[in-house]
Amino acid sequence: MTELKYIAVRNFLKEQIQQGTFGVGDFLPSENELCRKFSITRTTARKALDELLKEGFIEKKHGKGSCVIERRKSLGLLTVKGFSEAVGKNVKTIFIQKPTLQKLNSSIITALKDEDKKSDYWFFERLRCVGETPVMIEKNWFSNISLPKFKDVSFIDNSFFKTLSQKYFIEIIGSSQELRAEFANKEVAKILQIEIHSPILHISVQFKTSVSNLTIYSELYCNTKKFPIGNNYYI
Amino acid sequence: MTELKYIAVRNFLKEQIQQGTFGVGDFLPSENELCRKFSITRTTARKALDELLKEGFIEKKHGKGSCVIERRKSLGLLTVKGFSEAVGKNVKTIFIQKPTLQKLNSSIITALKDEDKKSDYWFFERLRCVGETPVMIEKNWFSNISLPKFKDVSFIDNSFFKTLSQKYFIEIIGSSQELRAEFANKEVAKILQIEIHSPILHISVQFKTSVSNLTIYSELYCNTKKFPIGNNYYI
DNA sequence: AAATTTAACTTGTACGTACAAGCTGTTGGC
DNA sequence: GCCAACAGCTTGTACGTACAAGTTAAATTT
C-alpha cells in the first residue's frame, strides 16, 4: 500500500513547516518547483497545497506564492489551544483512564454520528489541575476505524492534538460545541473535589478532523469558580 | 465581466439547495451530469462541488455522490454572528433597557479597558426568548467616544451587529471570552423565570471591532437547561 | 432460492495542456 | 532621473484523458 502522491507531498511540506524550515511569512516552493522536485504534475502539486490551505497552514497569493501563516489555534471555545494555553500556566494532567479500546457507552450514543456507531472506540479520560486544584474532567473518544494503529502513545507535551498532528498528520479543522451549566453529580463532584450540586460548566464537543471519517468526541466538566474558561477569536 | 464557470455552477446548486429543490439527504446531480448540463469538464464540475463542500452544504461519498447535509453555521453564538443565528428561529427579543448614555457601573469596571474608563458609555439590556421561554439576558455597553452619533436606532433584524455593519460599517473582527457556571442570583432568576440558585452559564465577552478604539462589552446570563448554547467553527 | 459475478454507475487520483491574470525586477525611451 | 513596457516568474481557470476504487442492481451461476 503505497502512499498517495498528494498526501506524500502534503506531509513533506507539513513536516517542514512544523520543524521550522519554513517559518511564518515564508513562501513554500512554487507549484512548478514541487512538480520538478517530486516528479508530479501541477494538478497534484496544487492538490497538496489545497490540503495545507484548508488545514490552515498556508494562504495562497495570486502571482506570488503560498505563504506560511500563523495556524489559527483559537478555534471556537477550548479547542486546539488545548487546556494549558486556555487556562494559563502550572497545569498538571492525570490520566483517570488511559487509552483503551471499548464498546460503546450508551450514555453518549446520541451524540455519535451514524458511521461511528458500528465500531469500537478508543476512550481516555483525564483530569486537569491548576496547581493542586482539580479544574476539569475531560473524556475523549473516537472510532477505531480511522485510526486502527492508535496505541497508548505517550502524548507529545501532554497534548492529544499535538500528537495527532505530528505522529499521524491529522489536523483539527473545526469544532461543534454545546455548552450547559449544570449541577455537579456525585461522580464529578468527587473527582473535582467540590460540593455535590455545585454549578459546573459542561461542554460537549465534536472535533472535525482532516480525516473525513474521523470525528473526535469530548465531554468536559469544568469547575469555573476559580478558573473561568477562556477563549479568543480573531479573524 | 462574465462569471467564472465553477462559480456559476456553485451558485446554481446553492440556490437549488436553499430553495429546497435538493433537501437534506438528497444527492445532487453526478459530476458527469453536471458536465453535460453546463457544458463543462469534470475538473470544473468537481471544483464547483468542492466549493459547496468547504462551505458546508454537501458531503461527498465515494462511489455514491454528493449528498446535501444540514448546513453548519460557521461561527456560532460565542464568536461573531449573534443570537438569532445561533439558536435558530422563533427568537423574541425584549428590551429591558433601551440604549441610554450612562455613567460607569462599578460592577463591570474591572472588565473595561483603561481608555474606556474615562468616558460615558452606551448601555442596553435585552432578554432573549425562544418561544415564550426566557433564555438569555444580554447586557451590552461600549464607550461613547468612538460612536458619538449612536442613537436609539431600531436594530436591523433585531441584530446589533448587523446594525453596526450596515449603518456604521463597523465589523466585529474578534472576541475574547470568559465562561463561568454560576448560581443564578435573585435578579437573574426572576428575569429568566427560574429558581434562585439554578445553575446558569455566565459569559463575559469583549468584542474587538474594525474601529480600533471601539470595544464592545457584553455580559450574558444563559439558562441552558432547555436550550444549550451552541457554537460551531470551521476553517 | 441463494450466492456470486458482472456491468454500469458513482467519486478519487493523476496525468498533460493551454491560456488568463497578478506580481516584480529589468530594460528602454523620454 | 522617471516612467512605461516588457519578460519571467507566480497562481487561477479550464480544457481533455485515463484508470483506480467504491456502490448498486441486474444477470448469471450454483
Q: How confident is the model at residue B76 (pLDDT cuts 50, 70, 90)?
A: very low
Show which of A68, A91, A116 is a domain's final residue: A68
B178 in a structural domain? yes
B129 in a structural domain? yes
pLDDT at residue A6 in the model: 96
Q: Is B173 within 8 Å of chain A by CB?
A: yes
* Cell (9 digits) for B94: 425584549
Residue A46 shares a structural domain with residue A96: no
Residue A129 shares a structural domain with residue A95: yes
CB contact under 8 A, B234 and A208: yes
Which nucleotides of chain D does any protein CB come within 7 A of? 9-18, 21-24
CA distance B40 to B51: 16
Residue B117 shares a structural domain with residue B207: yes
Nearest residue on chain B to A72, judged by CA atoms?
A: B235
Q: How far is B38 from chain A (nearest CA, A)?
A: 22
Q: How far is CA A29 from CA A32, A70, B230, in A?
A: 8, 18, 40
Q: Is B185 within 8 Å of chain A by CB?
A: no
Residue nearest to nucleotide D23 (CA to C1'): B63
* Cell (9 digits) for A30: 512554487
Residue A57 shares a structural domain with residue A88: no
Handedness of CA A32, A36, A40, A41 (dihedral sign): positive
Top pLDDT among A106 and A178 is at: A178
Using the predicted structure, report yes or no on whether residue A85 has a pLDDT greater than 60: no
Q: Is A201 within 8 Å of chain B by CB?
A: yes
B235 in a structural domain? no
Nearest residue on chain A to B62, judged by CA atoms?
A: A212
B10 in a structural domain? yes
Using the predicted structure, report yes or no on whether residue A73 has a pLDDT greater than 80: no
Domain span holding position B34: 5-68
pLDDT at residue B89 in the model: 55
pLDDT at residue B80 in the model: 39
A232 in a structural domain? no
State how far Cα A99 lies from the chain centre.
16
A110 in a structural domain? yes
Q: How far is the CA of A69 from the C1' of C25 (A)?
A: 26
Top pLDDT among A85 and B54 is at: B54
Residue B60 shares a structural domain with residue B89: no
> How many residues comprise chain B?
235
Q: How confident is the model at residue A82 (pLDDT cuts 50, 70, 90)?
A: very low
Q: How far is the CA of B161 from the C1' of D14 (A)?
A: 40
How does DSSP assign A17-50, residue by residue? HHHTSS-TTPBPPPHHHHHHHHT--HHHHHHHHH
Q: Which residue in B72, B231, B235 is closest to A54 by CB distance?
A: B235
Q: Is A229 within 8 Å of chain B by CB?
A: yes
Q: Which residue in A180, A230, A235 is closest to B228 by CB distance?
A: A180
Q: What is the percent of chain B with per-residue pLDDT over 90, rounded to a whole number?
A: 30
Show which of B18, B36, B68 is a domain's final residue: B68
SS3 of residue B192 by DSSP: helix
Show which of A68, A94, A110 is a domain's final residue: A68
Among residues A113, A10, A23, A88, which one has the least CA distance to residue A54?
A10
Among residues B179, B182, B185, B211, which one has the least CA distance to residue B78?
B179
> pLDDT tens digits for B144-160?
766 666 776 678 777 78
Q: What is the CATH number of the domain that holds B140?
A: 3.40.1410.10
Average pLDDT over chain A reads 80
Top pLDDT among B40 and A78 is at: B40
B98 in a structural domain? yes
> pLDDT tens digits for B147-196?
666 776 678 777 787 777 667 766 666 677 788 899 999 999 999 999 98
Residue B121 shares a structural domain with residue B205: yes
Q: What is the CATH number of the domain that holds B63?
A: 1.10.10.10
A77 in a structural domain? no
Nearest residue on chain A to B80, judged by CA atoms?
A: A233
Residue B102 shares a structural domain with residue B137: yes
Using the predicted structure, report yes or no on whether residue A93 has a pLDDT greater than 70: yes
Residue B209 shares a structural domain with residue B129: yes
Residue A48 shares a structural domain with residue A152: no
> pLDDT tens digits for A10-56?
999 998 988 889 998 999 999 999 999 999 999 999 999 999 988 87
> pLDDT tens digits for B15-37?
898 788 999 999 999 999 999 99
H helices present in chain B, as ranges = 5-19, 31-38, 42-54, 83-87, 160-168, 186-192
Q: Is B229 within 8 Å of chain A by CB?
A: yes
pLDDT at residue B111 in the model: 54
Ranges of beta strands (E only) in chain A are 58-61, 65-68, 91-102, 121-130, 133-143, 172-183, 199-209, 215-222, 229-234
The average pLDDT across B72-89 equals: 47
Among residues A4, A1, A101, which one has the least CA distance to residue A51?
A4
Residue A106 shares a structural domain with residue A195: yes
Using the predicted structure, report yes or no on whether residue A235 has a pLDDT greater than 50: no
Number of domains in chain B: 2
> pLDDT tens digits for A177-227?
888 899 999 999 999 999 988 999 998 888 888 887 788 888 999 988 888
Tell me the ipTM for this assembly. Answer: 0.67
Residue A125 shares a structural domain with residue A40: no
> pLDDT tens digits for B109-131?
445 555 545 567 888 899 988 77
Q: How far is A79 from chain B (nearest CA, A)?
A: 10
Residue A90 shares a structural domain with residue A64: no
